[in-house]
Amino acid sequence: MFVQDLARQGRPEDLAIIDHERRYTYEAFAQAVENCRDRLAAAGVRPGDRVGIFSRNSADFVFAYFGIVSLGALAVPINFQLSAREVAFIIKDAGIKEILTYQPLNLVDALAQLRYDARVTQHDIKLVSKKKPDLPPAPALPAAFDDQHPCAIIYTSGTTGTPKGAVLSHRNLIANAQQMEIMHCRPEHKVLCVLPMYHAFGWTCSAIYPFYCGATVVILDQFTPKETISTIRREGINDLYVVPSICSLLTKLATKEDMHTLRLVVSGGTTLPLKIEQDFMEKFGVDICEGYGLSETSPVVTMNPPGHAKVGSIGPVVKNIDWRIVDANGNDVPYGEAGEFLVKGPNIMLGYWNNEEATQEAMRGGYFHTGDVARRDKDGYFYIIDRLKDMIISMGENIYPREVEELIYQFPGIAEAAVIGIEDKLRGQAGACFYSLHEGATINIRELKKFLQANLALYKIPREYHELPHLPRTATGKIAKRVILKEFMDQKALKK
């Protein structure tokens, strides 16, 4: 099966997409993809070409993506919040010559600075799915084209350096949809897509998987609490895929009646603090099934099964995944201990675009190295301890910031928390706690320290505490630790 085949997965008369006032049956969905296919072929798009998509969530995004990949070309979704310089980097790295946009992009100067002299043609994404009379039908895919061919390039956020493009095949994405069958989505279900479609979590879980099941995808172009709550209530949403910050806001602002149609809530994208999870479940009576994955894994690797979720866990691995937990020397750690999480399966990327060195590093030994530290319990449920790169080493002791952050979230008044490693002349590194407060709240740092000292080894206690109005976040809801650290270091340098 190819990704574009999902446009015909549901019954022709069933609703496939609801996008504000626009409603498309599966029959209309398939026709829109054909229209897009013909227009792009007429514009010169051929198998193997990379075509950018720069757009907010919309039905047009879906039609464009499916139209691109139906021609054997590669869809390259681009974060619409990126600067012209960042977009230009992706265009040059992927070799994009055609880009579908919801607003014109001024890329001339940025592309010139990168010495990318190829002509980049912008197309209005709202028009490409409209039928154009007298266009010849696009040619069929070559006979040799199979589901192992590349389908998309997903650029990582670049939090540890230059963004890398994870190349996913048709098989990767379809396999991941099949691996999600434990979520029991059915044709009669409505799934809300409010997470950005350019991100692997939002795209696979909120679009690819429900289309695979013949269900209805209800699209919001962005998350705003009021519109999200009213849409859940008005449309009778059954399945909701979110990040922790959305869970927190829904708990604060929605009523139990607003959420009464929900059968399934899945949190991903970043670790879910226990306090946020418990507050949500207590108010709405709906379990949160926390999952785990990465762009490179299409993205789902683990998922808590509905009805059998373990609070604080990311669940068991999904079917057809082989895994290992290893130490710094690549040796399997004893049962129950923590180590780097390695995975192998049909959903693992083909590699990084034009980056053989990074591909070899990530895929050494035949397994994808996630860069996350995990452990597994006796029931087969996994727990993420922290990012390997976020780990703080103080006086030779390993400190996992997430463990400290979980406790800080439990302290009254704390809304957000991030513990980040900073230089320390004596210890090498020490933790710095950056936090924001709930509206109207105040805290005593001395009391917070006492609370932490009662629950943690002394070497794990942060050295410094800094209150911020709010913690910056990435587009996918993760606290942007790199941004916090940079601003902290800049301010420190100014004081010298």
Summarize the confidence of residues 39-44 as an average pLDDT: 96
pLDDT classification of 216: cutoffs 50, 70, 90: very high
Type of residue at 335: Y
Query: Are residues 348 and 415 both part of a single domain?
Result: no
Question: Considering only 2-6, 109-113, 223-227, which range has the smallest mean pLDDT?
Answer: 109-113
In a domain, 386, yes or no: no
In a domain, 118, yes or no: yes
Summarize the confidence of residues 149-156 as an average pLDDT: 96
Query: Are residues 371 and 396 both part of a single domain?
Result: no
| pLDDT of the residue at 159 | 41
Cis, bond preceding 299 (omega within 30 deg of 0):
yes
Summarize the confidence of residues 332-338 as an average pLDDT: 92
Domain end point (choices 376, 405, 434) = 376
In a domain, 385, yes or no: no
- pLDDT above 90: residue 255: yes
In a domain, 381, yes or no: no
Domain end point (choices 376, 400, 422) = 376
pLDDT per position as a tens digit, 458-486:
889 999 999 999 999 876 678 989 899 99
- pTM of the shown model: 0.84
Query: Are residues 332 and 447 both part of a single domain?
Result: no
Residue 150 near residue 168 (C-beta atoms within 8 A): yes
- pLDDT above 80: residue 426: no
pLDDT classification of 397: cutoffs 50, 70, 90: confident
Residue at token pair 């626009």: 22
N-term to C-term CA, the chain: 61
- pLDDT above 70: residue 223: yes
- pLDDT above 60: residue 161: no
In a domain, 297, yes or no: yes
Number of domains in the chain: 2
pLDDT per position as a tens digit, 370-390:
999 999 999 999 999 877 778
- pLDDT above 60: residue 160: no
The residues, ordered by sequence, that sit 6+ positions from 60 with a Cβ below 8 Å of its Cβ are: 102, 125, 126, 128, 129
Query: Are residues 333 and 414 both part of a single domain?
Result: no
For helices 26-42 and 59-70, the axis angle rounded to 10 degrees is 60
Q: Tell me, what CATH number does 482's domain have?
A: 3.30.300.30
Query: Are residues 418 and 338 both part of a single domain?
Result: no
Q: Tell me, what CATH number does 45's domain have?
A: 3.40.50.12780
Query: Are residues 173 and 226 both part of a single domain?
Result: yes
In a domain, 382, yes or no: no
pLDDT per position as a tens digit, 85-139:
889 999 999 999 999 999 889 998 989 989 998 899 999 999 999 999 889 999 9
In a domain, 384, yes or no: no
Query: Are residues 405 and 272 both part of a single domain?
Result: no
- pLDDT above 70: residue 158: no
- pLDDT above 50: residue 425: yes
Query: Are residues 370 and 475 both part of a single domain?
Result: no
Q: Which domain holds residue 424?
A: 391-495
Domain end point (choices 350, 376, 402) = 376
pLDDT classification of 427: cutoffs 50, 70, 90: confident
In a domain, 383, yes or no: no
Report which secondary-structure segment, H or E, holds 271. none
Q: What is the DSSP letter of 192?
A: E
Query: Are residues 283 and 416 both part of a single domain?
Result: no
How distant, in Å, are the alpha carbons of 33, 48, 77, 244, 283 from that of 203? Answer: 17, 21, 10, 17, 28
